[in-house]
Structure 1
Amino acid sequence: MTPVTEDCVLPAAGDDRTDMRDWTQRFLDYTAGFGTADTRYELKRVHTLGVLGYMNALLKLEGITAEDPDLAQAARIAAVFHDIGRFEQLRRHDTFFDAKSADHAALSVQVLEETAMLQDVEKAWRQRILTAIAQHNRLETDIGDPVASRLCDLVRDADRLDIYRVFAVDDIQDMTAHTAEEAAQSTASPAVIEALLAGRPVDKRDRQTPMDLWLTYLGFVNDFRFPASYRLCKAAGFWRKRFDSISLADPAVRACLEHVEVVLNEHCTGPERDTAPD
C-alpha cells in the first residue's frame, strides 16, 4: 500500500477516498482472531459497521464530506477502529464494563499502536484519530487541537447513534449484563434523573441500578454535538423501543422519556431531509 501524503488521509484506488473496504477488512481480519463462539464479539463487529454507517450519514448531512474530505475520511477511519480494544477487553475480563475491567478507549489506542494498523495514515492525522478514539468515551473531552476535537465529536455522535440501535434490537444481557425485567423492576437513582432532566449527560459514576444504565443511553441526546445527530436519532426511533417493550414502574423514568421527546422535537424542526444511514 502506498504511504499517504501530507494532504491526504487515505491513498485509495482511483482517488476514491470514501472507499473503506481496505480499512474495514483490516478491522475484520484483526477481530477474526477472537472467534465467534461468544456472541458479544459479533455484537461489537456489527456495532462498528453500524457506527461507520451513521458516520457516513452524519458527514453527508453536515456537509463535511464535500467541504472537508480529509476530516471526513479521518472520521470514517476513526469510526472503524474506535472500539477495537473491546475485543481484548472481553477476552481478558469477560465484560464490556470499563469500571470492572479497563478503559476500552485506551485499549483501542494501544491495539492500534501495537499493530501499526494506522501506519499508512499521515502522522498528524494519525495522531488526531488516536486522540479522538482515546477520548470518545469520556464524559467531557479535553482536546487542544480543534480539528481533533471536532473529529472526536463526530465519533461520539455516530457511536451513540448506533448504541441506540444495539440497545433496541440486540440481546439486552449481552449489552447490559441484566435482563429487561430487572431493569423494569428497578428504580432510577436521583442523581441520574436530575442530570438527565437538567439537560446533561449521565455520569457513569452515579449509576447504581439497572435502570440507571438504560437512562445513561437516553442522556446521549443531551450531549449530541451536531444538529444532524438529532434528526438521525429521531428518524430511527431506536432510542425508546426498549422502554416501550416493558412496563415502567418508576414515574421518573416516564418523565425522562418525555424530556428526550421534547429535546428531539426541538432540534428536528425544519425541512425534511434524507436521514437514513448509508
Structure 2
Amino acid sequence: MTEMTVPWQKTLASWWESYVRRFWGRDEETDYHVRLKVAHTARVRNIARQLMHPRELPAQELALVDVAALLHDVGRFPQYWQYRTFRDLLSVDHADLGAKTLDEEGVWQWLPPEAAVVLRQAVVWHNKRALPPEAAGAAWLPAQVVRDADKLDIFDMLTTDKEYRMPPTDGISQAGGVSEEIADMVAAGRLGLPAQVKTAADQQAFRISWVYDLNTVEAVRYVDRAGFLPLMLAALPEGEAKVRIGQAVEACVKRRLATEA
C-alpha cells in the first residue's frame, strides 16, 4: 500500500515530507520529538498496510487508507513546536489541529473533493473517544483503520525493548496504582477517560482499554499474534485491579476472535 498507486497519494507524501522539514533544527529536544512522530507515522502506515493486505481492495481505497495514516498525526508537529508537549490535555487536541493545519496548507486542492472529505474526517476522528454516527460510507474504512493502526503502534511502543519504546508522559506521576474509578470502567468493558488518568498505572489501564475500540478483526488478530496484552498487563501493579482488568480485556479478545473468525 505504500507504493504510490494514485497520483494525489504521491503529492500528499511529498507535501508531508516538506512540511515536517520545517520543524527540524530548533533544538535537540524538539528534534527528538519530531523524530518520534516521523517514525511513528511510518510504522502506522506499515501497520495499516498489513491490516488491509488480506482484503485485496481497489487502489483508490488503499490510497485513502495510506494517506489517512500518513496525515493522522500531522498536528503533532505544530503542537510540540508551540506547547512543547504531546499531551492534549496540557495543550490542544492534536487531531483538530492537524485538520486545521491541512486546511491552512491548502492540501485538499490536490485531491478529488470526495477524497478530501474522507481524509479530513479520518484525521479529525483518529483520536476521538469513538467514531461519530456520521462515520459511514466512504469515510468508514480509512477512519477505522487509522484508529486501529495508531493504537497497535502505541501497544508496540509500550511493550518493545527497542529504541522507540514509549517515553514517560508529561504531567503524569510515575508513583501510585490504578484508581478504582478507571479500574471499574475498564473491568466493565468500557473505555477509560483521559481525565481519569493521574498516574502511570492509570495511563496503562487507560491504554489497555483501547482493545475495546479496535474496529477491524484484523487488528484484534494483530493484538493476539503480537502478544501485546500479557506484556501490557504485566506493567500494571499487582492487585485486584490488575486481575479484573486482565480478565475483561482477555475475554473481549477471545470473544471477538471466536465470533469474527
TM-score, normalised via structure 2 length: 0.84
Amino acid at match of 2:37: K
Name the SS for the 1:35 alignment partner: coil
Asked if 2 retains the 8 angstrom alpha-carbon contact of 1:231 and 1:267, the reply is no
Structure 1 match to 2:116? 126
Cα distance change of structure 1 residues 178 and 172 upon mapping to structure 2, 3 Å threshold: farther
Q: Residues of 1 paired with 2:183 and 2:7: CA distance?
A: 41
* 2:72 corresponds to 1:79: no
Q: Which residue of 2 aligns with 1:51?
A: 44
Per-residue CA deviations over 1:206-259 (Å, capped at 9, x if unaligned) read 222221111111011111111111011121224443553x57244312432343
1:256 aligns with 2:245: yes
The answer (yes or no) to whether the contact 1:18–1:73 under 8 Å persists in 2 is no
Q: Which residue of 2 aligns with 1:115?
A: 105
> Greater relative contact order: 1 or 2 (C-alpha under 8 angstroms, separation 6 or more)?
1
Cα distance between partner residues in 2 of 1:18 and 1:213? 41
Q: Is the 8 A contact 2:189 2:249 kept in 1?
A: no
Kindly provide the CA deviation profile for residues 90-140 of structure 1, in whole angstroms up to 9, marking residues without a partner as x. 111111111110010011111111122343211111011101211211112
- Alignment equivalent of 1:92, drawn from 37, 60, 82: 82
Gaps in structure 2 of 5+ consecutive residues: none
Distance (Å, rounded) in 2 between the aligned partners of 1:213 and 1:20: 35
| Per-residue Cα deviation, 1:20-44 (whole angstroms, up to 9, x for no partner) | 6654443232112212623222111
User: Distance in 2 between the 1:18 and 1:158 partners?
Assistant: 24
Paired position in structure 2 for 1:9? none
Correspondence for 1:276: none
Note the 1:1-278 alignment, pairs <5 A.
12=4, 16-17=5-6, 23-35=12-24, 37-38=28-29, 39-61=32-54, 63=55, 65-66=56-57, 68-144=58-134, 146-147=136-137, 148-169=139-160, 170-174=164-168, 176-177=169-170, 183=174, 185-241=175-231, 243-244=233-234, 246=235, 248-269=237-258
Report the TM-score when normalising by structure 1.
Answer: 0.79
Cα 1:247/1:226, change in 2 over 3 Å? closer
Distance in 2 (alpha carbons) for counterparts of 1:18 and 1:117? 14
- Secondary structure of the equivalent of 1:96? coil
TM-aligned CA distance change 1:119 to 1:203, over 3 Å: same
Structure-2 separation of matches of 1:124 and 1:20? 14
Preserved contact between residue 224 and residue 230 of structure 1 (Cα < 8 Å): yes
What is the deviation of 1:193? 1.1
Q: Which runs of 5+ in 1 are unaligned?
A: 1-11, 273-278
> Deviation at 1:269?
4.7
Please tell me the residue identity of whatever aligns with 1:173: P
- How far apart are the structure 1 equivalents of 2:10 and 2:225? 27
- Structure-2 residue corresponding to 1:3: none
Q: 1:167 to 1:28 in 2, by over 3 A?
A: farther
Q: Whole-Å Cα distance in 1 between the matches of residues 116 and 62 of structure 2?
A: 13
Compared CA separation, residues 229 and 113, structure 1 to 2 (3 A): same
